[in-house]
Structure 1
Amino acid sequence: MTNWYTADPHFGHENVIKFCKRPFRSASHMDAVLMQNLWAMVGPTDALWIIGDFAHGPKAKDTDWLRKLFDKLPGAEKHLIVGNHDLEPTQALPWTSVTHLAEVRDGPQNQAHTLCHYPMITWNHARRDALQIFGHVHNNWRGSRNSVNAGVDVWDYMPVRFEDIARRAKTLPVNKHWADVEHNAKEI
């Protein structure tokens, strides 16, 4: 089983196309491409982690539309890390788990990494090379050396594996507040 991560798909949300300069003609075009990209990567035995903002806009209140969308998602497990736009109808879908924060074991050392919709400065095991994977900021910020944005807007509208996130983390700058919150920690 492979864990796949993505954030901020904003299924059904017309305005996100303009706000984030997404290259789609309409929300239905965007939804189709995002779903196609998920199916191109996420296998039938894999886990899909949506790190917030699954759907937004008027359709996000339509339980029938949401259920049909959810039923199209690939993977054996579908997890939701609750974002600011994940209303009760989204949270009520039959996710494998629904939580505001999760620690997921992944990577070559099977390390527990922290998933939260919002970027954080520190988290459990941050001093021991655990990454934080977030969304929320769309294309405004890719993250820092140990806290990486998994949003569709910075990953070509594709889900990503931990290996992709770890590789990107090495190219990002150290968070300028790291020393403020983790005294005597090595610079990650």
Structure 2
Amino acid sequence: MNMLNRLLKFFSYYKRDGKYPYLIEIRPMVEKYRIRRHIKTHIKSTHTGRWHKVPHITLIYNFRLKKGITDRDIAKIIQNVASKYTFVKFYYDGFEVKKGDKGYVFAFKIKASDKLKKLRRDIYNKIKPFIEERPDVIKFNDADEDKFWFHATIGYQLSEKSANILIKETQTEYEYLPAFALRITLLKKSRISWEYDVPTRKLLNRREALSRKYYAETLKAHRKILQMETFNQHPSIRGRKIWLISDTHFDHANIIKYCARPFVDIKEMNRVLLKNWNNTVKRNDIVYFLGDISFGKHSRSPRYWLSKLNGKIIYIKGNHEKTNLGKHYEIVNYKGHKFFLVHDPKDVDSFDGWIIHGHKHNNDLINYPFVNKEKRTINVSVETINYKPVSFDQIIKIIYSQKLENIETIVDIKR
């Protein structure tokens, strides 16, 4: 039996193992609701098997504690190791269906960064002297960095019929989403015992780990690390600057879930987006806004939000505008370069310059990242530009660099 089959053999029942009740996992945070929709979609198609409400990424499989060792001792080891890591990225990278001895497993593929691989290995090496592992998991916990199976199980103990349905369904469905390890969880009998918060470097007990207050602190610290908030107004610069941004979706609660935005609620999202804009843009600057300023049943009008924002705003219509506002597109010549500004890039048949657009958010980063050098497109949806306007000068500097490559989000330029 190969390693994959051995892993699948125990994976379907490991959470019910009372003799070795501990696991260490990455708990999804901002992406939780986005990835949960796949469970709701596919569980309707299959009638056998077991399903996880929220798929977690297991780092260390079943173990128990040696005599004299407490849950908090293990949690402190996790904290000491993980405190050396502040930017642990990974990707939900499509789906996989694999056959084991107890049926099929349906999971998210996880593309782990080198940093995540090293973090997992470091945690395991440090806790190993203090734990007893279930014999059949030792070879998996002790796997080399590049051989460990990173995945997030959605369904397990599935029948062959269900597996075939899922394979067919996911042939045309693809989820590609960058994410960060914000919380590293010590589980006992499938319940949170302790949790290490990566952005704040705090060790949380179960009550704190499930607290909305501490979740808000996690997101605030995460935004600070990634420079997603502009806290001070930029000093005056001679001359008028030109900025681009799209798809703020002020007042839209569900966009936080759909696009895994790092905000606890719409009040916080509105505050950060407004502050970022006005601390970046001076009153005399020009801003090309490429549509969808606000959305939702109880959202305030686009004109309300425009009155709150600095700059001379040139508005390009989005697909959610109900009022007669702005143009359908704009062609701009800037410093000898030609750009087609539009909300939806699919509305452009052909153009011999660069297309700057919104609409795609972070929902198709394979085809519409921040910069796609092959398609010559630039996605200025707020999710790709760190939730603040990006200047035309910066875009020109990026796209005409001799080392230009595809760039998923503007954060990746700095990392």
Corresponding residue of 2:309 = 73
CA separation in 1, counterparts of 2:357 and 2:382? 11
Which of 38, 44, 65 is residue 283 of structure 2 equivalent to? 44
Identity of matched residues, % = 29
- For these two proteins, the number of residue pairs brought into alignment is 156
Does residue 393 of structure 2 align to residue 163 of structure 1? yes
CA separation in 2, counterparts of 1:165 and 1:85? 26
Call closer, same or farther: CA 1:47–1:38 in 2, change over 3 Å.
Answer: same
Secondary structure of the residue aligned to 1:49 is strand
Which of 145, 156, 172 is residue 406 of structure 2 equivalent to? 172
AA matched with 2:372: S
Residues 123 and 132 of structure 1 are in contact (CA less than 8 Å); yes or no, is this contact kept in structure 2?
no
Corresponding residue of 1:184 = none
Which has the higher relative contact order, 1 or 2, with Cα contacts under 8 A spaced 6 or more apart?
Answer: 1
AA matched with 1:150: V
Provide, for residues 131-171 of structure 1, a one-character-per-residue CA deviation record: whole Å limited to 9, x for no partner.
21001110122142121101100111010011322344432
Which of 114, 121, 146 is residue 340 of structure 2 equivalent to? 114
Residues 288 and 313 of structure 2 are in contact (CA less than 8 Å); yes or no, is this contact kept in structure 1?
yes
Q: Give the alignment of 1:23-102 within 5 angstroms.
A: 23-60=262-299, 62-63=300-301, 66-75=302-311, 77-88=312-323, 91-92=324-325, 98-102=326-330
Secondary structure of the residue aligned to 2:345 is coil
Q: Which has the larger radius of gyration?
A: 2
Root-mean-square deviation (CA, aligned residues, Å) is: 2.0
Q: Which has the higher strand share?
A: 2
CA separation in 1, counterparts of 2:298 and 2:332? 30
Secondary structure of the residue aligned to 2:274 is helix
Secondary structure of the residue aligned to 2:251 is coil
CA separation in 1, counterparts of 2:254 and 2:396? 31
Corresponding residue of 1:183 = none
Secondary structure of the residue aligned to 1:10 is coil
Call closer, same or farther: CA 1:123–1:102 in 2, change over 3 Å.
Answer: farther
AA matched with 2:360: V
5+ residue gaps, structure 2: 1-239, 408-415
Call closer, same or farther: CA 1:118–1:67 in 2, change over 3 Å.
Answer: closer
Corresponding residue of 2:332 = 104
Q: TM-score, normalised by structure 2?
A: 0.36
Does residue 261 of structure 2 align to residue 22 of structure 1? yes
CA separation in 2, counterparts of 1:153 and 1:118? 15
Which of 151, 169, 176 is residue 381 of structure 2 equivalent to? 151
CA separation in 2, counterparts of 1:104 and 1:45? 19
State the 1:74 CA deviation. Answer: 0.3
